[in-house]
């Protein structure tokens, strides 16, 4: 009985098949023979069904075409593929095949393909033969004992001329994001883009300062020069106010600690874990059998620690947490200059409030396209970023100064819906113009309340 093969539907068959008949006393067995063209069609249809890329399928067809050109016989059946024939073909490719023979403009007098090219064609043949054997189209895989071509020769890649290098460097493809000025890959975030530095006011949520940087710049690069003018401004304008700086481990640089201590600024900055800090944490809370595996354990400790790059010892808070069902503690470390009036737990909780700034950044992205850079010029993108943050500030001032208390946490999309995207009619009366709101406007009370508060603002 004929076996059905994967991908056989729609394959054009020969009008007559030549059976191989083996006879014995009790059995009469017939096996259909396939030409290499038929077998290739079955193979490629199966691979298409598996989702193989069109380019890969085309490579199989191309490599089969080269093999059939060498055999130079039609029809040729796949059961005629023998190890000896395949080795002769590989030897031909290695010694007698003219390089780029099919491309008239590139054809050379040199003979013999590179081992890499030969092995590509051998790999394609091995894959197809393995498929045909599994599908019982052939009784035995003829390539199973054929090894890859080895070579100690290393192909020399010719270098580019100065003109070619200049042409590549000057090439500008507007469709490629990676061609944008100062755009680079950031390994921490795993993406290509920019890496801006932004400072927000932790109380009001106002944007204070921003700087657009190339994507591959590390977080702490230039942070002291960035934040020092802000600190000096606040100390000059508000000398009675105590400043407090929060930052994640990307800003854990000694120069920032020194600046804060010099300017009498409190700080809590997370530290990256290292072997010395882990040893200290293990001494404070060694791994042991939990009292209750169903409960999470959390401890806050403080110690004095000095890294090699620090100018002096500083207070470090150690947060040790063992999740329910776990044996080992997870340790976090924070460097601070807050006085003893604050407990270790209070210091960590103060640090965790820096997550509020993540919400500010998120709102700047979603509401004002802070992260949308649509120019290839770095300076244009930086100006666009500043305008986005300025629009954010204007909206935040409106919310802070003019909104009722219960609406002060309203997000930008809601603000636009209730105040800005309002249907109205422009009416001229005498020398005045009036906006007449629809009588069915749902948020009229809120709209007029905010407008009244704006009119009552005292601008100094």
Q: Return d(Cα 92, Cα 224) in angstroms, integer.
A: 67
d(CA 200, CA 196) in angstroms, rounded, equals 13
Question: Which pLDDT band holds residue 434 (cuts at 50, 70, 90)?
Answer: confident
User: Which residues does 58 contact at the CB level (< 8 Å), separation at least 6?
Assistant: none
| pLDDT of amino acid 102 | 62
> Among the listed ranges 78-87, 284-293, 355-364, which one has the minimum average pLDDT value?
284-293
According to DSSP, residue 139 is labeled: S
Which DSSP category does 216 fall into? Answer: T
Domains and CATH numbers, the chain: 20-134 (1.10.150.130), 179-368 (no CATH), 422-460 (no CATH)
Torsion of the alpha carbons at 126, 132, 136 and 140, rounded to the nearest 10: -30
pLDDT single digits (tens) 211-233: 888 878 888 888 899 999 999 99
SS3 (DSSP) at 210: strand
| Predicted local distance difference test score (pLDDT) of residue 373 | 79
pTM above 0.85, yes or no: no
3-state secondary structure of 58: helix
Angle of the 36-49 helix axis to the 54-71 helix axis, nearest 10:
170
Instruction: Give pLDDT, residue 356.
Output: 79
Residue 303's pLDDT band (cuts 50, 70, 90): very high
Beta bridge partners of 448: none
Q: Half-sphere exposure (CA, 13 Å, Cβ side) for 233?
A: 7
Q: Considering Cα of 181, then 185, then 190, then 194, what sign does the dihedral take?
A: negative
Quickly count: other Cβ atoms within 10 Å of residue 310's Cβ.
13
> Is residue 152's pLDDT more than 70?
no
pLDDT of residue 416: 86
Q: Nearest 5°: phi and psi at 267?
A: -150, 150
H helical segments located in 369-411? 378-402
């Amino acid at each position: 009985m004929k076996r059905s093969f994967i991908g056989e539907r729609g394959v054009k068959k020969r009008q007559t098949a030549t059976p191989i008949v083996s006879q014995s006393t009790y059995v009469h067995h017939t096996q259909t023979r396939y030409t290499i063209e038929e077998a290739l069609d079955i193979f490629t249809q199966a691979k298409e069904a598996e989702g193989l890329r069109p380019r890969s399928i085309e490579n199989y067809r191309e490599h089969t075409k080269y093999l059939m050109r060498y055999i130079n016989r039609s029809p040729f059946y796949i059961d005629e593929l023998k190890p000896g024939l395949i080795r002769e073909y590989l030897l031909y490719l290695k010694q007698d095949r003219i390089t780029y023979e099919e491309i008239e403009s590139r054809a050379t007098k040199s003979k013999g393909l590179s081992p890499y090219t030969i092995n590509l064609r051998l790999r394609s043949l091995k894959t197809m033969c393995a498929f045909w054997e599994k599908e019982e189209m052939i009784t035995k895989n003829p390539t199973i004992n054929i090894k890859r071509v080895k070579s100690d020769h290393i192909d020399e890649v010719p270098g580019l001329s100065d003109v070619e290098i200049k042409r590549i460097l000057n090439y500008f493809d507007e469709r490629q994001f990676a061609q944008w000025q100062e755009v680079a890959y950031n390994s921490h975030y795993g993406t290509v883009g920019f890496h801006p530095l932004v400072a927000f006011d932790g109380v009001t949520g106002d944007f204070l300062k921003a700087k657009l940087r190339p994507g591959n710049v590390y977080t702490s690069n230039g942070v002291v020069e960035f934040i020092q003018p802000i600190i000096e401004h606040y100390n000059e304008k508000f000398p009675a106010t105590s400043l407090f700086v929060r930052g994640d481990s990307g800003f854990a640089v000694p120069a920032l600690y020194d600046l804060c201590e010099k300017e009498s600024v409190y700080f809590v900055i997370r530290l990256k874990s290292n072997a010395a800090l882990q040893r200290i944490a293990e001494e404070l809370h060694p791994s042991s059998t939990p009292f209750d595996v169903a409960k999470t354990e959390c401890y806050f400790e403080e110690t004095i620690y000095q890294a090699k790059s620090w100018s002096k010892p500083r207070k470090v808070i150690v947060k040790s947490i063992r999740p329910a069902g776990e044996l080992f503690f997870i340790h976090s470390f924070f460097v601070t200059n807050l006085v003893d009036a604050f407990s270790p737990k209070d210091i960590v909780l103060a640090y965790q409030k820096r997550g509020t700034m993540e919400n500010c950044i998120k709102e700047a992205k979603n509401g004002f396209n802070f992260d949308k850079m649509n120019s290839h010029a770095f300076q244009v993108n930086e100006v666009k970023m500043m305008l986005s943050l300025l629009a954010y500030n204007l909206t935040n001032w409106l919310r802070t100064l003019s909104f009722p208390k219960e609406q002060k946490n309203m997000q930008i999309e809601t603000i636009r819906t209730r105040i800005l995207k309002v249907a109205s009619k422009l009416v001229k009366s005498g020398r005045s113009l009036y906006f007449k709101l629809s009588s069915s406007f749902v948020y009229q009370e809120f709209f007029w309340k905010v407008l009244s508060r704006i009119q009552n603002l005292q601008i100094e």
